[in-house]
């Protein structure tokens, strides 16, 4: 039996770690339900990890079978489980402030007769557009033109038209910092900051009037959720690419060329290339680890 295993190991097989199970711990000052759901989504979408749930613990304990290399008999070895990895997320300095902004103009691309140039608003001759003729150094009326003429006699490029309408715009200013640590695989922090509209006005051409619009604080939560999700997802997508080689056999244990510095944990299950079998880590040192086979396919032809 030992001789056959040594022959099996002699080709330097590559190992790929199985999908680990993650337990998420979140510390946040408020809106914990939204943030919690967001981080769970990030973990699931990454495709790299499974989520730890109490009611599914029984799924972690399975009968592990070893196929005898000399026959088709299946031998039950022992029960094993994949180690639980803690994913700690801490949200600090979360601030949500309201700010009121006085406005004298409103976007109106239907019938507005002002354009914005820097911080100024210029009244223009709406409906007549111009192109610049470099040969004559003149502005020529053109339907495909990018210029419009102001009542001050100057020509301007523009993005939007505006209508005079004095009003007050209210925005939320949201900021904070997220610290995360996916033990052994990914850790770091990132800040977020954004201005989100709370109350504003939008021009309605059908009634030639500006209508008031409002957002609830749920928009803040959506933003915080999206920024946390995108940042964490980006950072953990490349996490957990553990690969190693079997390079020795010590008594009845397999020696791998990866260890603590690579993020290997006791109980981690590795699959041998081409699904030839599986091993489970029993002891971990800094530069190497010891494992034992608990499943091998019959490779005899």
Give me the tens of pLDDT residue by residue for the chain, a chain 301 residues long.
333 333 333 334 445 555 556 676 777 766 555 556 556 666 656 555 555 543 343 343 333 333 333 334 433 344 445 566 777 888 888 888 899 999 999 999 999 999 999 999 999 998 899 999 999 999 999 988 999 999 999 999 999 999 999 999 999 998 989 888 876 567 788 898 989 999 999 999 999 999 999 988 777 777 877 777 777 777 766 555 567 787 777 767 788 888 887 777 787 777 777 667 778 888 888 888 888 876 666 555 4
How far, in Å, CA of 251 to CA of 48, rounded? 33
How far, in Å, CA of 109 to CA of 162, rounded? 7
The dihedral built from the CA positions of residue 180, 185, 188 and 193, taken in this order, carries a sign that is: negative
**In the prediction, which pLDDT does 30 show?**
61
């Amino acid at each position: 039996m030992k001789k056959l295993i040594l022959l099996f190991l002699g080709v330097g097989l590559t190992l790929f770690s199985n999908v680990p199970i993650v337990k998420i711990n979140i510390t946040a000052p408020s809106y914990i339900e939204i943030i919690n759901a967001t981080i769970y989504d990030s973990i699931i979408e990454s495709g790299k990890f499974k989520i730890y749930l109490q009611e599914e613990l029984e799924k972690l304990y399975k009968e592990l079978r070893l196929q005898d290399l000399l026959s088709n008999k299946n031998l039950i070895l022992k029960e094993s489980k994949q180690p639980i990895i803690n994913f700690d997320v801490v949200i600090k300095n979360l601030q949500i402030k309201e700010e009121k902004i006085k406005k004298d103009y409103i976007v109106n691309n239907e019938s507005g007769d002002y354009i914005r140039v820097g911080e100024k608003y210029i009244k223009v001759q709406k409906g007549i557009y111009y192109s610049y003729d470099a040969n004559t150094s003149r502005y020529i009326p053109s339907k495909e033109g990018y210029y419009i003429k102001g009542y001050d006699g100057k020509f301007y490029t523009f993005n939007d038209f505006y209508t005079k309408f004095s009003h007050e715009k209210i925005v939320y200013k949201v900021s904070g910092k997220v610290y995360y640590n996916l033990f052994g695989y990914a850790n770091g922090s990132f800040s977020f900051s954004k201005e989100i509209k709370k109350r504003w006005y939008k021009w309605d051409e059908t009634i030639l009037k500006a209508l008031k619009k409002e957002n609830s604080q749920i928009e803040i939560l959506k933003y915080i959720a999206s920024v946390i999700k995108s940042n964490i997802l980006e950072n953990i997508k490349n996490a957990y690419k553990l690969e190693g080689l079997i390079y020795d056999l010590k008594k009845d244990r397999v020696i791998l060329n990866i260890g603590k510095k690579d993020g290997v944990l006791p109980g981690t299950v590795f699959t041998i290339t081409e699904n030839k079998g599986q091993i489970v880590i029993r002891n971990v040192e800094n530069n190497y680890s010891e494992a034992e086979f608990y499943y091998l396919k019959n490779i005899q032809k």
